[in-house]
Structure 1
Amino acid sequence: MLDNASIHTAKKLKPYWDLLEEKGMRFYFLPPYSPELNRIEMLWRKMKYEWLPFKSFTPSELEQAIDEITAGFGAQYQLTFC
């Protein structure tokens, strides 16, 4: 399953898509705007609105906060898809 990012839909990739499809791989694209179907969007929404404090971050502070969430993912931070 792929989103519609330009890297996934670039014309230069068409020969590679065709080759992979010939070998039995199937590609399914999400609708153009469907954040509810894209797991990374669900993760970012959870991080932004629930796990990160509501404050202004410098780039390094934001990176550190995201690293802390990443380190605690699965134990302290959990994400369910239902």
Structure 2
Amino acid sequence: MVVILDNASIDTAKKLKPYWDLLEEKGMRFYFLPPYSPELDRIELLWHKMKYEWLPFKTYAPEELELTIDEIGRGFRSKYVLIFC
């Protein structure tokens, strides 16, 4: 089993080292993304697309922003398409 982690402080805490070692002995492998690598994080790519292409450029009230994001979610894969490659 392979686990990919994003280098969050909770993932790299020294207190977890014994657990990492134990899990690695059991065959689990851990790979950490570089400290800042939005190009490797799919949610960052999705948010970038939403923010700069799918959301009209304007000021939103919190409720309005939530509704607009929900609308994009409902239209995802039909009206809004994102290809990860």
Alignment TM-score, normalising by the size of structure 1: 0.84
Match of residue 60 from structure 1: 63
| 1:22, distance to aligned residue in structure 2 (A) | 2.3
- Extract unaligned runs of 5+ from structure 1: none
Task: Spell out the pairing of 1:1-82 with structure 2 (5 A cutoff).
Answer: 1-82=4-85
Distance 1:15 1:65, change over 3 A: farther
Q: Which has the higher strand share?
A: 2
RMSD: 1.5
Q: C-alpha distance in 1, partners of 2:64/2:20?
A: 40
Q: Which amino acid aligns with 2:68?
A: A
Q: Which has the higher helix share?
A: 1
Distance 1:12 1:70, change over 3 A: farther
After TM superposition, where is structure 1 displaced by more than 4 Å over at least 4 residues in a row? none
- Extract unaligned runs of 5+ from structure 2: none
Distance 1:50 1:9, change over 3 A: same
Q: Which amino acid aligns with 2:11?
A: H
| Count of residues paired in the alignment | 82
| 1:3, distance to aligned residue in structure 2 (A) | 1.0
Identity %: 78
Alignment TM-score, normalising by the size of structure 2: 0.81
Q: C-alpha distance in 1, partners of 2:7/2:31?
A: 10
Query: SS at 2:32's partner residue?
Result: coil
